[in-house]
Structure 1
Amino acid sequence: MTGVLPLDHLLVLDLTAFRAGPTAVRQLADWGARVITVERPVAAGEGPGAALGARLGSDFQNLRRNNESLTLDLKHPDGKRLFLDLVARADVVVENFAPGVTARLGVDWPALSEVNPRLVYGSISGFGQDGPWSQRPGYDQVAQGMSGLMSVTGLPGQGPVRSGHAVADSSSGIYLAFGILAAIIRRDRTGEGTWVRTSLLEALVAMMDFQAARVLIEGDVPEQQGNHHPTAVPMGTFPASDGVFNLAPGTNAHFRAVCRVLGHAEWAEHERYAKPGARARRRAEVNDMIAEVTRTQPVEHWIEAFLAEGVPSGPVLDLGQMWRHPQVERLAMAQPIEHPSKGQVAVVGQPITFGDDPSGRGVRRAAPALGQQTDQILGELGLGPGDIERLRAAGVV
């Protein structure tokens, strides 16, 4: 597949801001789609880029790499006309406005599907396109609380704890990208475009997965278990003499191996611990027994000892340590790019590789300056330099 990216035949118009929408668009751009981000023609630092931190900051550079930037005032008749000209050529439009905003701008799904019936239109909202909360502003923080995620995060009895990552934004963006890809496959079979939509809340409810299913199927409302698995015992972090490490024995055979490594093979035969259900009922007791032994030796000793017996184990790293870990370095997840003003910087690469991965884990170029490709894109629509200058003088671009 050398030299060919899977989505390099697609044109995507990006109306997104903040994090969830740009995450979806980044997925498409990294896989080769031509992404044109449509931004308001304002001074640098005052537009959507400012909401992501500084335009030259890490967040904007990481989210907007591979994109092109077109400044266009969608509220101006000429801006709207030019945007619709692009829509007629596009494969995908992505937006994450609050429900109702695109209708007021005249760029919602019904309007754009009239211009291009093959268009795939992707939307992310806070809580869905309809329902009693649909018109409310949605942020990752609020979605984490509503989804139940905060109720199962943190130490027992600690009270609700936020995830350390904007997981609602990231997951909704990834879900939307996959939905868009499915809609493109459907379009190629039927000739018809469609409206693909998700929300921060829907994405996080889906991400709660087996925890949420426990309530639906078993009526069991999960509680906080700190750094330990909600149902499997023992599985979690344990103290060593110089820090903590992760231990993940997922089977009874693993548990027997853990007991051997700890010098207490008899634990695995005791009726109080021999079966998973018995261990789960005595979670604190089992974890305390293990911790009493593990705190006598350093982290590396235990990781190597457990791995030698086939039991999954590993370190607990901060983000600086993570980037320096030899396995992460070997995976080349930190992808260097050349930025015109910042020089060489690194961004987070795609976790998916295709064959020999000619794209360098998806990262091909730095995020654009505001309106960097405006003249080029308008030229592709047939406008000459004089036309573009008149639009610029009128504040359209």
Structure 2
Amino acid sequence: MQTTLAAQYQGTPEGLEAEEILRQCVHCGFCTATCPTYQLLGDELDGPRGRIYLIKQVLEGATPGPSTQMHLDRCLTCRSCETTCPSGVQYGRLLDIGRHLVDQQVSRPATQRVTRTLLQEALPRRWIFKPAMKAGQLLRPALPAALRSKVARPASAGQWPRASHARKMLLLDGCVQPSMAPNINAATARVLDALGIELVITPKAGCCGAIRYHLNDQEGGLDDMRRNIDAWWPLVQAGAEAIVMTSSGCGATVKDYGHLLRHDAVYADKAARISALTKDVSEVLYGFQDALAAKARAGTADKVAYHPPCTLQHAQKIRGKVEGLLRAVGVDVRLCTDSHLCCGSSGTYSLLQPELSGQLRDRKLAALQATGADHIVSANVGCQSHLQSGTDQPVEHWIELLDRLLR
């Protein structure tokens, strides 16, 4: 795609990166076939190719308006289009640039500004989010249905293993996951403990940075990333084998630290090392299939519908590992029709675009339930919570199921 950058973007890091990405696009339109919002709305500007044109116009000097902002906001950043694209267009990175430039020029309505500020200030801070979630859980029966669906039912984490092992890996505890689904990380620690690996949590590591960064507080998001690097670095130097991610959304972001901080003279090399060490828990466990099969209780009759999160299959390009691990321990794993499509969660998207998000969730649930499975598993707390808000059928992280089968 031929691009002529406006003078203000020439030679800038954003302009150079955007121009390189735009030149890869041959506007073939294959991406529209796998874009969830294009499927729902049928508008070219609500598909990747149309949004690329909008961003291109801004980079070439056109003045964006509320309509441009709206179409970019409607994107889930699911990156299914990247999986489909024959030219390898890095659409997700281009979208971050486009949104940032548009938000600098288009003022949002007051209600949007307040909502987005609350999300980017409250969600990443556990000391705010945890008491807020506990209060919501206490008041859950009295809450309006729309709000009640966003409040996770109270859950116990169970016991964290106490054994010390020579092999050690770091674990990102995260910001919202410990309050919404505390058993995920504890289950991961128990599974790895059974394999002779100790998981270590560094208290000073918090939000991965995705929430702020994708809400266009990019400097705030980068500060979150630097804080995590500082928290992990001494343990990395001491020999930690990997940084384990149990939320695929966090994993996709941490694996991108090296790129996002590449111009930071202090953190660039450290960020690249952190990204290289980061692994989804399915990547860590995939080499232990035989050991897990030997430890699992026999005779399971679990029929499970697995929803692969977009951040796992499209952002991290990890496919088949979760299914392989569960099948190795005797689980009947079923994928639904169009399993490549987003469930509508996408970080804060379900809060900012509730109508589109709800439609995508209901479509996904119908497809998952059509598999005839007993319950649903996923690999990302956002997907898990979003799907659970639309059904009474149990939805959990797949590591929790594996943990039960080993105990």
TM-score range, shorter chain: under 0.3
- Rg bigger for which structure? 1
Greater relative CO, 1 or 2 (CA 8 Å, sep 6+): 1
The structure carrying a bigger strand percent of its residues is 1
What is the TM-score with the length of structure 2 in the denominator? Answer: 0.24
Q: Taking structure 1 as the reference length, what is the TM-score of the superposition?
A: 0.25
